[in-house]
Structure 1
């Protein structure tokens, strides 16, 4: 029995229930703000009522949980079975707003359903491109993911607009700094279980400090309903507009590139090779989850890059931990009052923890690139140009504002454009299948 236990890969390890719940809750807290951001943005843009917004948020969380379970536990051949939490892709926001404004929500969900089916069936063919992702490409993509996410943490800390009187206020900076300090201290002076919970402890400690300062608002908790069932097709039967479907197909094509990068990044961190078969299963899970999301009044789903950093920080590699996160998300989707409690965590507190999480993604990319051969300048050029163009939308968010909407989906995502360029440059300089690792 002991010999058999030693052969279990950390990804497939089933931890005791208290650890599963604690680590899983940590993942939920880390991704919650991003998970609910899309329905909030969409509802505000389309002028939906508050009850409709609550319906969208509940459906989103519930579908997030289903998508995460499909990806981590799997259904037959579908699902990568790695610790990958699922969330709504931000690449879909702009197209959904345009579709919803012109054709209504039924057209949005019709396009999502078709795009999900398309992704499911195209996944086995797309996965054959795995050979285009050698270490120089994967390491670069992992770095780009971390660098591209860092502004999210900064925005959580400072706020959205510099014109806001509270932008980067001393209170926000103190909350973020103290949260980060708690994460560092727990990581430094504890071991084992507590050390792995450093981010969760930081979030709880930061929230308690914020509450003492009067910066936590529980009004939404008191006003939220106890139970909110998710009703399929609550906004009517889906309609199928050709132009809307084409726009969403572009979104899902971009998502497949991002998911490929995220899956490879997770594989690097958990020491489990993501091969063609695994990637195909991963992308099929995205397609199936997106299709389900369309029926449940939700959105397109893909890997949530934010949580890759949490895996790196905690070194907890079990996919069953993330599967537990899926269960928690489904429960939050059914009980709005519980979801409101999680939503009460102040943004600066999330930002303080985010700096540690996203920084660890960057560090993981650096570690991967440390094994790359730089004897010739080709690999150095691949890394330099890919990261360089990925930084453009970070430094100048409106840089591509004159581009057509379909092109903006690709170029305005530093992760997507940087990943595509890394693959293309590697093909140009190194060809197909050439090894780039140090001898």
Structure 2
């Protein structure tokens, strides 16, 4: 399919091939801006699932390689897969949160099956894209993202305190180390500028690790080159290179997969906005009906591979758009080069092992920053949904109530059948479903209430 909507002069900018001496530093700049996300996400996943340093290093290698492959696919495009725009691909923070939640409640094999089901659903609904995307306006997406952030703050805190009843639970050194990590991250956010500021979370984790080693509040223990150690059930030792099916054969449970299934549908609205933004940035005439399915197909394909190698859903991100605007270089081959660099970095096993020795309280402190920001993103989306309107405020209030009940009262659905407890006991699922249903109801029946007879225009007798 040809890109008929591209202006000829501007098309040259996005399709321009640069000489290697220019391409290499520009691609490295994109990698620098995006690498903090996969690294911090893998640390959080490894700590939350109790993976040892060897398996965490293997997961980091797989994640970096897949992020690189996804970035390359979106930038270059193959057939009707990939938008051929300067996109990068990252592990979605919200998707990772739901993956961790599913793994903790139902086991990592079920979480893997949920990723594969979510990717398949995303592909299956693309023919109905125009209808599906209407169900997830900012009001619904804001509720979903806010609930994800709130739920994950709780899990981030558990990384710091450990599990209740275990030795060293809520130990003072762990809490102090997490606070020091947060303080270092905030200081870096204040002092750094430009591309370096985008690495503040990653550098904050490095600073937190340095504090742990120099003060005795924690230790730095990267795995040796040998492998994965013991424990973890079906999880096998994997060294530091990507390992196929690290949690064993996937287990498919549709009810347990509901959070990720719903999230995969909500991503269509996010993909639409990012595709329009990216197209406008590089000068391409936006065509969501053509480009959004291409982006979604690439997301789904790489997410399937991600599930097979132990990651959550991988999603296309527009966080590198700032670099495109800053440099004025709109060539998609720059991000394609960034994809190649990520693949190379991911296959450097010693680097992956080195990065896998970060102490749990440091990861926990960083995760509080990351997921706090996700919650704020949800608030920002809700702000764009005109919450002051009576119908919108009612939808938001009831959806947040439904979503927060399982968080503040975890046993509220204890006496319900297991399937009901699985659905309603997930704050994300309960809140999102409530928001979607109420939004549809108010949109369909609320219009009659808005027709005030006293203000309606006069009609001829």
What CA distance in whole angstroms lies between the structure 2 residues aligned with 1:123 and 1:300? 23
Please, which runs of 5 or more residues in structure 1 have no aligned partner?
Answer: 9-13, 45-49, 101-107, 435-439
Q: Say whether 1:425 aligns with 2:457.
A: no
Is the alpha carbon distance of 1:134 and 1:300 closer, same or farther for their aligned partners in structure 2, counting shifts above 3 Å? same
Selected match of 2:182 from 167, 180, 183: 180
Go from structure 1 to structure 2 and tell me whether the alpha carbon gap of 1:31 and 1:276 turns closer, same or farther (over 3 Å shift). farther
CA distance in 1, matches of 2:406, 2:335: 31
Contact 1:149–1:358 (CA<8 Å) still a contact in 2?
Answer: yes
Deviation track 1:418-439 (CA, whole Å, cap 9, x = no partner) reads 12221111111123998xxxxx
- Aligned pair in 2 of structure 1 residues 386, 64: CA closer, same or farther (>3 Å)? farther
Please state if 1:257 is matched with 2:262: yes
1:3-402 aligned at under 5 Å gives the runs 16-36=26-46, 57=59, 61=63, 64-65=66-67, 68-69=70-71, 72-73=74-75, 75-79=78-82, 83-86=88-91, 89-90=99-100, 93=103, 97=107, 117=120, 119-125=122-128, 128-159=131-162, 161-214=163-216, 215-218=218-221, 220-221=223-224, 223-224=226-227, 247-248=253-254, 254-262=259-267, 264=269, 272=277, 280-292=293-305, 297-298=308-309, 301-303=312-314, 334=347, 336-374=349-387, 376-401=389-414
Range 214-223 or range 145-154, more displaced: 214-223
Alignment check: 8 A CA contact 2:64 2:346 kept: yes
Q: CA deviation at 1:216?
A: 2.0
Q: C-alpha distance in 1, partners of 2:413/2:429?
A: 14
Question: Counterpart of 1:132 in 2: which secondary structure?
Answer: coil
Query: Contact 1:187–1:195 at 8 Å: present in 2 too?
Result: yes
Distance 1:287 1:376 in 2: 36
Give the match's secondary structure for 1:85: strand
Give, in whole Å, the separation in 2 of the partners of 1:340 and 1:229.
9
CA RMSD of aligned residues (A): 4.9
| Superposition deviation, residue 156 in structure 1 | 2.2
Change (3 A) 1:183 1:95: closer
Separation in 1 of the partners of 2:160 and 2:104? 24
Residue 437 of structure 1 aligns with which residue?
Answer: none
Deviations 1:138-166 (A, max 9, x none): 3323322322222132122222x122342
Q: CA deviation at 1:196?
A: 2.5
Q: 1:279 to 1:381 in 2, by over 3 A?
A: farther
Q: Deviations over 1:379-437 (max 9, x none)?
A: 11111111122222322344445555555553343223212221111111123998xxx
Q: 276-285 or 419-428, which moves further after superposition?
A: 276-285
- Answer yes or no: is the 8 Å Cα contact 1:71–1:282 preserved in 2: no
- Unaligned ranges ≥5, structure 2: 1-8, 15-22, 229-237, 279-286, 326-331, 448-461
Contact 2:156 2:367 in 1 (8 A): yes
Instruction: With the length of structure 2 as denominator, give the TM-score of the two structures.
Output: 0.67
SS in 2 for 1:419: helix
CA displacement 1:35-85 (0-9 Å, x = unmatched) = 4468x56x99xxxxx99x689848854774477447754544335775552
Q: Deviations over 1:341-362 (max 9, x none)?
A: 2221122212222222222222
Displacement of 1:210:
1.0
**Cα distance in 1 for residues equivalent to 2:222 and 2:336:** 30
Structure 1 distance, partners of 2:336, 2:154, is 28
Partners of 1:330 and 1:399 lie apart in 2 by 46
Higher helix fraction (1 or 2): 1
Shift in Å at residue 205 of structure 1? 0.7
* Aligned match of 2:423: 410
The 8 Å contact of residues 58 and 334 in structure 1, kept in 2 or not, is answered as: no
Q: 1:301 to 1:408 in 2, by over 3 A?
A: farther
Check whether the contact 1:158–1:168 (CA below 8 A) recurs between aligned residues: yes
Which is higher, the Rg of structure 1 or of structure 2? 2
Cα offset for 1:258? 0.8
Q: Distance in 2 between matches of 1:432 and 1:402?
A: 34
Stretch moving more, 412-421 or 57-66: 57-66
- Between the aligned partners of 2:338 and 2:152, the Cα distance in structure 1 is 21
